[in-house]
Structures are given as structure tokens and as C-alpha cells.
Structure 1
Amino acid sequence: MPRRSATMLAATLLLIALLCVSVLTKVPYTEMSPGPTYNTLGMQDKTGKPVISITGHESYPTSGHLNMTTVQVTGAKYEPSLVSAVVGWLRGDVLVVPHDNVYPKGQTDEQAKRQNAEEFASSEDSARTAALTQLGIPVGAELIVKSVAAGAPAEGKLHAGDQIVAVGGTPVTTPEDVANAVTKHKPGELVMFTVVPRVKDANANGAKADPAASTDVAVVTRRAGDVDPTLKPDRADAAMVGIVAGIRHTYPFQIDIGLQDVGGPSAGLMFSLGIIDKLTPEDLTAGRFVAGTGTITDDGRVGPIGGISMKLIAARDAGAEYFFTPAANCAEASKATPSGLTLIKAETLDGALKSLEQVRSGQTSALPSCTK
């Protein structure tokens, strides 16, 4: 075989080998892409029911869109090939990120779904609280069992959602009160919890537990270090029952937020705006198409989210004209803004409402911008 032909054959075989290696080699990355958007003023696709429904308080007609945006993420077990990852990096509508950024410490799909569901429920609660606080409507609070550890002394006796009235006969009002009351005991001692058993759907609609339904539940403490060997010595000998206490807000009327197969905390701002739009006679959008993202705190502060570039594409493809962008995401968003979409910097719920007023009046040149 002539040397030239042999060289070409060797180069071809090497190229084929490299292509095979790149196709077969798996890399530790996760792919994100634009997900569906949901109009918080509209109806659920699967059930035909409103995304936000108000019961027990006057509500008003709405128009336009206040769309929350989502990102689709590949599963925890998905391992793209090197070729797939490179193609994703080159595309504008796919975001390739390190696997551990999305699924930390080997998190499974089931664990991720559970975490996303918990974050979504917390986001709904904060959205209700922020919206009603903005409108000057009183919001109550009650101390509850937030979670119970598997295999802990409290498992099967206390349940997530139970309202905690007292511990050891002493009234409690904060999670710290509960922790202090338990750690006053020695491991192996009995602690009496006075609780109001959870109310069905209380987390979903803000239903307040009935104090008259309280009952006493006895739990025997255990040494914390026997449950968690990683604890430092100063904490290992403390008594524990295996619960995490938290605060659940209560509302003077029912606000249901119904979306299926959606998780995470990033819809908080748009839920708050949707609730306010339904509770006030003013049409917040005046028929315009506004989308956005951002976490929300109880006092109305807007926080950052992940996958902003993919959410911008999702909003543009859905038809949005304006997009609420958390201030902390502005730098990234301003570099990836699709044509025809105007970014509105959002720092607080009150600020977002003022921006919507400017959109309604047509004074859009004064909108807070991600470049200002």
C-alpha cells in the first residue's frame, strides 16, 4: 500500500476511534432546557380549574398574563456523552451544567422531587403571606411539626403538619422553644407534646387548626449521637425526638394554588402578583403579557433563581412582552435576553406592582432595567 494511502487510512481509523470514544464516554453534566410557562391568572391545562382560586373573599376578573416560567432538567441518572455535552454547549436553547450543581451529593430523582415539592409548598405559603401583607390583610401563624425523621422516637406519634401547643406542659410559640424544651430532658426520658393533629390540606389552603382538638402525645427521647454519629461531642449527648419544628401561616380565607408536576421555589413572585390581581379591582396587566420568575419572602423580597437564560427563552416563545427578573440574576439575564422581550428588574413585590402600573400607563421608559 502506498505511504500516502496508508497515512490516510490511519488518520481515518484514528478519527473513527476518537468519535467512538467521544460517543461512548459519559461526562458528569446535566442538561437544562426551556420548560412550559403557566399563567397564574389562567386555568390549569390538566384539570381546567383556575391556577389560583379564592374562596371566602371577594375576587375580581383579570385579563392578560402573569406567567410563571419553568426549566426542564434531565434526570439524576442521565449521563450525556461527550458529544451530547459539546452539542449542548454550542446550542443557545440548552444549558449544560455540572451534575452536582443540580443533584448534590448523589441526590436521586425521588429525593430531588421531594425537595422540589417541599420548596414549591413553601413558596406558595410565602406568596400568600407576601400578597396579603402587601394588601394589609392580617396573616396568622402557628407552630407545627415540619418534618419527622425516619426511625426517630417521634415517628408514628407526631406527624408533619401537627400543630404544637405545648411541650412538657409549657406553652411554645417558636421552633427554638420546642428545641429548648426537649433538650432540657435527658436521653431516655419521656416528653409530653400537646398537639392539634394536622388538618387535611392545611398546608394547601391555610386552614387553621382547632385548639379544642388538642391531645397529649408521649415521646421518649433518645441520645442524639446514637441517631447521628457525625454530631460533635457537645451535641451528641443531647436528648432528641427527631422532629423539625416550623411556622405555618394561617389566612382569613382560602387561597388555593393548583399546579401539577411543578416544583422548586422560583414561582413565588408571580404567584403573589396573581393573588393580588385577583383580590383587587385594578387589572394589573391591562391585558398585556407579562412573565417572570423569582423567589419571594414573607415580607415581599424577591430572590434569585437558577436557569434564567432558559426561562427567558420559554417566556419569549410563549409570547411574553415583559419579564420580571430578580436583581441578582440581572447580569446573566441581560446577556441572554431574546429579541422582543423587555427585562424588568424586580427587588421587591411592591416594586413589581409599581412596574406593572408603569406598563399599564405606557410609561415603559421609566421601568427599572437590568442595565441601570
Structure 2
Amino acid sequence: MSFTRAIQAAAAFLRRARNDFDRRSLGYYAGAFCVLLCGLVLLMPSPYVIETPGPTRNVLGTSSGKQIIAISGARTHKQSGKLLMVTVNASGVPGYPVPNIATLVMYFRPDTTVLPSEAVFTPGQTSEEYDKEANKEMSSSQKAATKQALAYAKKLGVDVSGVNVDMHIDDIGGPSAGMMYTLGVISKLTARDETGGKTIAGTGTMESNGKVGAIGGIRLKMQGAKRDGATWFLAPASNCDEVVGHVPSGLRDVKVSTLDEAYKALVAIGEGKGNSLPHCTV
């Protein structure tokens, strides 16, 4: 094609484009702009946090090749069952942004909770600050669990003088596993097979006065427990309003307020006498 013909072809294309532009209404271009704008908004970071059922861990077992609860200075005993700590996966927290379109899609899933970000973390918090706070809460939870577990084991007749407890878990923060850590330490120190071969999950903080405290995301945690084979779930009494009507089929909830209630419930379940234990009610 000669240079002249190329110029003529380009001119013809521009004339057709101008004619197309003239024929289309202003509304057409306004609509196209709105579609483009909506697409950009959907791709922007969401101001919400998406929570889904997270992994569970058997506190009587191992994580990354290490004992989750390692005890020295005393004889330990194996259990025939499992004690599962439960977690929630969170997207949209500092360091893990999600786009608005993901929030919109996940909002309609029954295994998902969508929360305003300010309900989960402090506005402006960096990923380093968020991780530091979560790790600090986990460390504090483990210390409280150790203290309460050793005191309770002593009441059960276990010699705890010189006992050292070390807890190891990867990529999990927060205080909500306190009760299960405590029950795990007690179970390892006593000769009794508390679990009786059953898979028992639970959640709740372990307070310095022996109380079991409320936690977040309990509905999702029950789903994770059921998914991973638990048939029993120890729930803080202070979370019962969130439990009632949301217990997955095949999972039996048990209301507990203190470490003493939680341990006695664990023993009753292991002995096959759990049916008389209290449900959550409102």
C-alpha cells in the first residue's frame, strides 16, 4: 500500500469513528463511564473484614514437628482422643487487604461473616502492629493457661513442683485458645484418659480467676470444629447468645463458665456421660 492510500484509509477510519460518536447519545457514554467507575470501585480495598472457619489444632499433638504443649519436669500421659483448639481465618486485616468485589461475593456465603474493619482492629493499625498485638495476646493466654493448669493439676494430686510448660503453635494469635491449652496441660499431667477417645473442641479465654471468658467468631469456630471431626464443643457461657440456633448438626455444645466446669465436662464426655451436660440457652 502506497503512502497516499494509507493516509486515505486513516482518514476514512477517523470519519467513521466520528460518525459513530455523533450517532451515540450522551447517555451511552455516561453509562460506559459508570460501568468503568463501578469496576474501579469493586477493585478497591474493602473497609470490611471477611472471616471464615480457620484450621483446628489438636493441643495434645504436634505442629510443624514440635509438641504444641511440651512438658518437662514431670511424667506425661497420652490421651486416646483429641482436644481441638479452633480458629478463624480473617482477610481484610492489616497486611491482608481484600477488594470490594470479594467482600460482596463472600457476604452471601453461609460460612462467612463480614464485619466493619473498626470492629476487628484499630483504624490506622499497621500489619506489624496488628501481628504484634495478636502475638502478645497469645503469649499472655499461654501464660495464664499454664498457671491455671498447674494449680488445678495440683488439686488433682499431681506433683507440679519443678514442672516447666512450653507451648508452640505457628501462625495463630489471640487469646481464645486459653481454655483448651489449660485442659491440654492438665490432661497430659494426669494418668486419667479424659478424652475417652473422643474428639472434643472448644474455645474461650482463660482468666486469672479461673473463669472462661468470651471470644469472637464462635459460630465459624463451631463450623470448623465439625468439619475437622469434633462431636463435642465446649462453649463459654458468655457466648451462648451466639451459639443457640447455630450449632452444626452432629456437634453437641456444652456451656461452661469456669475451668472446673470445663474439666468436669471433659471427663464426663470421655466417660460417655455427656448427655446430661448443659446446653447453651437464652
TM-score, normalised to structure 1's length?
Answer: 0.63
Residue 320 of structure 1 corresponds to: 230
Kindly indicate which of the two structures has a greater share of residues assigned to helix.
2
Residue 51 of structure 1 corresponds to: 68
SS in 1 for 2:184: helix
Deviations 1:85-141 (A, max 9, x none): 22222111222111112221311111111111111111111101111111236xxxx
In structure 2, distance between residues paired with 1:98 and 1:296? 27
SS in 2 for 1:350: helix
Aligned length: 256
Q: 1:30·1:78 contact (CA, 8 Å) conserved in 2?
A: no
Q: How does 1:1-372 map to 2 (within 5 A)?
A: 16=35, 19-20=38-39, 22-44=41-63, 46=64, 48-74=65-91, 75-136=93-154, 252-371=162-281
Residue 22 of structure 2 corresponds to: none
Amino acid at match of 1:272: T
Q: Percent identity?
A: 38
SS in 1 for 2:148: helix
Kindly indicate which of the two structures has a greater share of residues assigned to strand.
1
Amino acid at match of 2:207: T
Which of 1 and 2 has greater Rg?
2
In structure 2, distance between residues paired with 1:14 and 1:251? 73
Unaligned runs of 5+ in 1: 1-5, 138-249
Deviations 1:267-322 (A, max 9, x none): 11000100110111111110000011100012321001111122112111111111
Q: 1:100·1:106 contact (CA, 8 Å) conserved in 2?
A: no
Amino acid at match of 1:370: C
**More displaced, 321-330 or 22-31?**
22-31
Q: 2:117·2:123 contact (CA, 8 Å) conserved in 1?
A: no
In structure 2, distance between residues paired with 1:107 and 1:122? 21
Q: 1:29·1:79 contact (CA, 8 Å) conserved in 2?
A: no
In structure 2, distance between residues paired with 1:26 and 1:263? 24
Cα deviation for residue 355 of structure 1 reads 1.1
Cα deviation for residue 13 of structure 1 reads 5.2
Unaligned runs of 5+ in 2: 1-24
In structure 1, distance between residues paired with 2:77 and 2:275? 29
Cα deviation for residue 15 of structure 1 reads 8.0
Q: 1:33·1:71 contact (CA, 8 Å) conserved in 2?
A: yes
Cα deviation for residue 11 of structure 1 reads 11
